[in-house]
Amino acid sequence: MKDTELLQMALGLKPPWQVSTADFNPDEKRLDIRLDFPKGSTFTCPKCGLSGVKAHDTVEKTWRHLNFFQHEAYLTARVARIDCKKCGIRLVDVPWARPGSGFTLLFEAMIMILAKAMPVKTVAEFVREHDTRLWRILHHYVGEARKAADHSQVKHVGMDETSRRRGHNYVSLFVDLDETRVLFATGGKDASTVDRFKRDLTDHGGNPGAIEEMCCDMSPAFISGVEKHFPEAHITFDKFHVLKVLNEAVDQVRREESKGRPVLKGSRYLWLKNPSNLKASQAEQLEQLTIKKLNLKTSRAYHIKLNFQEFYNQTARTVETFLKKWYFWATHSRLEPMKKAAYTIKNHWDGVLRWFTSRINNGILEGINSLIQAAKARARGYRTERTLITMIYLIAGKLKFDLPT
């Protein structure tokens, strides 16, 4: 069997395409494979589908292919231009690459796989290509996959923001809580992000009126956005963010009290963690700080927080009574940060109680956010908002990519 025939089989070429020559340069560590077609071959118009059209002339093009062992491999071909009766002069499509790309389909498929696990810059160094060219591949396939995404069955949505870089640069995420996938990512964290999500949901076959539950933090922007654009959806305030309000209040009490009570120095994380998560030495230190004779305000605030956590262990029948009693205790504690936290919960009363009906939370979003932040750390950040959003869809969108194997 000739070398050209072997390469033709390996490339999976079908008539009229065939390998004409192959040239290996050991000094440049490069394999060049030339493809051609026999004289008189006919082609199909890439626009209207008319078949049996002969070549008008040709244009030479080159594509980067998968490495041949450790050597770079390139395909070069005379690509036919046809004179279609309906469409005029058209460059025909080739089966090994998509129009306008300088890479073969198999090379692009490899890049998509590597980019899920490695920073794009590292992938670029590995394949010896500029990362900008690789980002074009990612943007293309993610964009095409998103066009085909079906959101018609979405009913439960979680939303949260993730930081893009230091400062006030955020990307808002909207997640299908049933399928654990990012539906939509967009810059900012104001009410307009909810409007953009609604339009994107509609564009992908979703029905805003069919959204039954939406879970978010107590951000006024998210709340107003949901009330305006998803009036039929119920809001559940995320358990993690409700407890975060109380943790911040406890920490504020500690900071204010520690100015006159040196015994509190170095104890910050004791009050923020759950007792079950403390080390033996930390648990012992906390026990010493919570004895009654010290009469620490921080200890009182801590017990108010711990008592609230029992809220999520109540039954639907007893939960509102429990919350009312807790609210009375917190607002009469003479601890201003705890009173303020209690007022915040009171202002979001229905959404806090809704958890006992919906049983949804943004734990899925926290997991996705961890994946995003880990990818961002590996890449040492992303230059633009677009590149971060593309990576979010790639690692958490559960998109279906039409890639060759």
Query: Residue 343 phi/psi, 5° resolution?
Result: -65, -40
Nearest in space to 77 (alpha carbons), one of 56, 54, 102: 102
Give CB contacts under 8 A, 24+ apart, made by 227-233: 228/191, 228/194, 228/195, 229/194, 229/195, 229/197, 229/198, 230/194, 230/198, 233/157
Contact between 54 and 35 (Cβ < 8 Å): no
- Determine the residue type at 161: E
Find out whether 359 and 108 touch, Cβ atoms under 8 Å: no
pTM above 0.85, yes or no: yes
Residue 61: strand pairing partners:
77
Q: Summarize pLDDT for 114-129 with one digit per residue, the tens.
A: 999 899 999 999 999 9
- What would the two tokens of residue 108 be? 């692009």
Per-state percent for the chain, helix, strand, coil, to nearest 5: 50, 20, 30
Per DSSP, 334 falls in state S
- In angstroms, the CA 15 to CA 3 distance is 18
Position 4 scores a pLDDT of 80
Confidence of residue 270 (pLDDT cuts 50, 70, 90): very high
CB atoms within 10 A of CB 94: 20
Give the residue extent of every domain in the chain. Answer: 3-102, 239-358
Note whether 160 and 219 are within 8 A (CB). no
Alpha-carbon span 274 to 59, nearest angstrom: 69
pLDDT at 404: 80
| Distance from C-alpha of 250 to C-alpha of 12, rounded to nearest angstrom | 66
pLDDT band at 369 (very low <50, low <70, confident <90, very high): confident
pLDDT band at 366 (very low <50, low <70, confident <90, very high): confident
Cβ atoms of 59 and 23 closer than 8 Å: no
Task: Give the pLDDT score at 167.
Answer: 60
* Joined tokens for residue 394: 């790639």
What φ, ψ does residue 314 adopt, rounded to 5°?
-80, 170
Looking at residues 47-69, what average pLDDT do you find? 94
Mean pLDDT of 194-220: 96
What is the number of residues in the chain? Answer: 405
**Confidence label for 166 from pLDDT (cuts 50, 70 and 90):** low
Q: pLDDT grade, residue 168 (50/70/90)? A: low
pLDDT digits (tens, 9 = 90+) for 278-291: 999 999 999 999 98
> Distance of CA 273 to CAs 247, 296, 298, 305, Å?
9, 18, 14, 11
Higher local confidence (pLDDT), 5 or 180: 180
The two structure tokens encoding residue 382: 């992303």
Q: What pLDDT digit, counting tens, does each position of 378-395 carry?
A: 888 888 899 999 999 999
Average pLDDT, the chain: 93
Question: For the segment 67-110, what is each residue's pLDDT rounded down to a tens digit?
Answer: 988 899 999 999 999 999 999 999 999 999 999 999 999 999 99
